[in-house]
Chains A and B, each alone.
Chain A
């Protein structure tokens, strides 16, 4: 039964082109990081050269710039893409009326939710892997790095951060009455996460701290490990999934 549900989710991602779009966006931003790192200084130099009296001195671009740009994309733009892709996951089925016939079968609500989340998470992982491979390949072409081990760990942590955005959107999609409401709620939850991450002390435990750690790992300067943030992140993942299940279990369809 679980296999049928997961197969349906993946097939849906494929047929509705959500998988393609998500992968294309991640690949685009993956490619954009090394290209931007390479071209931005040259562009600035050219602008400066057209302005009389201005002399611009910039350090030569490096793999560290790629990592910085990559992390910036992962923290600012890609969460929004994940949110848009996942906000209708559960509530969309309610709105379209496809749920009653599925849940009238001997299917537990937990299995239904689990398969749905797994389908989304697998799609996200695939898109992230493709985006990371694109970024790494172009970084090798344009620069010398970054170092592979650190880059992999960086993506693992950044992936966890995006998974938090996904799970919060999933929770919002389970409790909201419409896809639009789910989007608004998910955005609000993400905003709370960002605000908490910016606060002194508390921010240290926020999943956003994972991105700082990821950036340091990508640049080959691991620094202090952020175990607290990692623990809180895993806690949020578990709590949001359990919350979604508890809410969905009692919903009347």
Chain B
């Protein structure tokens, strides 16, 4: 048996003339929270659905816990479970009934399914809503119930497709806290385009675009390998022309402006450190802060995609 949680080899998926996945190769180790990053339309959901056994690849293969995933082999899905981007439930059921239904699908006896349902309702903080109809749940509650239903069978691999993208800040915080807690029990393979979520909960990251893998490594390694040196410049008020001037410099790769904060990615860190103080001195009392900052995953992401 392979030591990998997920293994994709040349995974390809065509929808007519559209190539959703283009020979994707991926290796996900066990017992990590793995961020699967990519812009919209990159092929994240297609990969997830193939891994969940919902669609078949046009070519290549995927293995979960060493076993080949197949739509025709239900037993292969014993070691994996899946939460779609917008989980939909039977609105007439209560969450306890739904979890017991899932327990029944996984072969648990009635008492076992009830016990597991109660454990999971506690874990996802839905015990107080156990007798309410799911139809009246908020998105955050549905998402937490979605994670609970995916955990009923204690899967070795948990596939979460954009688990926090549709949530409000509080719902997002709760779901991310839950994912962090799961890291000791299972391998979490989580697709997202929210980089802050990856920064917070993932240990390893893969970035894909147009169905192909661009990079895969630990978060720190990615930053070191792919991020350009970053300088942050904060001014008290508007600094007319400063961003444009910085963009025009030969050693500048990119300048991002958010209000009075400028983030400058430099092609040549040495020249930036040498020349920036003189440029910023012209700002006089308007300059609040200037520092070399740690590159973020967003810097890596944008740089890889632009490349």
Contact = CB atoms under 8 A, between A and B. Distances in A.
Interface of A: 1, 3-5, 7-8, 11-12, 15-16, 96-98, 100-108, 249, 252-253
B69 to A, nearest CB: 11
B92 A105 contact: no
Interface string B40-55: 0000000001001111
A179 to B, nearest CB: 15
B33 interface: no
A97 B88 contact: yes
A119 to B, nearest CB: 13
Contacts of B86: 97
Given A100-B82, A105-B74, 5 more contacts: A11-B93, A96-B88, A100-B52, A101-B84, A101-B89
B101 interface: yes
A1 B104 contact: yes
Given A15-B92, A97-B86, A104-B52, A3 B104 contact: yes
Nearest to A8: B101
B54 A252 contact: yes
B19 interface: no
Interface string B66-96: 0000001011111011111011111011000
A12 B150 CA distance: 22
Interface of B: 49, 52-56, 72, 74-78, 80-84, 86-90, 92-93, 97, 101-107, 146, 149-150, 153
Contacts of A96: 88
Contacts, number: 79
A7 B97 CA distance: 11
A12 B92 contact: yes
Contacts of A97: 84, 86-88
3 smallest CB-CB distances across A and B, nearest first, come from A4-B104, A97-B88, A104-B82
Contacts of B89: 98, 101
Nearest to A5: B105
A16 B77 contact: no
Contacts of B97: 11
Contacts of A100: 49, 52, 54, 82, 84
Nearest to B153: A105
25 contacts: A1-B104, A1-B105, A1-B106, A4-B103, A4-B105, A5-B105, A8-B90, A8-B101, A11-B97, A12-B90, A12-B92, A15-B93, A97-B87, A97-B88, A101-B82, A103-B54, A104-B54, A105-B105, A105-B106, A106-B74, A106-B75, A106-B77, A249-B72, A252-B55, A253-B54
Contact of A104 (B75, B77, B92): B77
Contacts of B146: 101
B88 A101 contact: yes
A169 B81 CA distance: 32
A104 B80 CA distance: 8
Contact of A107 (B49, B52, B74, B103): B74
Contacts of A108: 74
B52 to A, nearest CB: 4
A16 B81 CA distance: 28
A101 B158 CA distance: 12
A98 B72 CA distance: 19
A253 B75 CA distance: 18
Contacts of A104: 52-54, 77, 80-82
A83 B154 CA distance: 40
Nearest to B77: A106
A4 B101 contact: yes
A111 B275 CA distance: 70
Contacts of B54: 100, 103-104, 252-253
Contacts of B149: 101
A106 B86 CA distance: 21
Contact of B107 (A1, A12, A252): A1
Contacts of B104: 1, 3-5, 7
Contacts of A12: 90, 92
B108 to A, nearest CB: 9
A109 to B, nearest CB: 8
A4 to B, nearest CB: 3
A101 B72 CA distance: 16
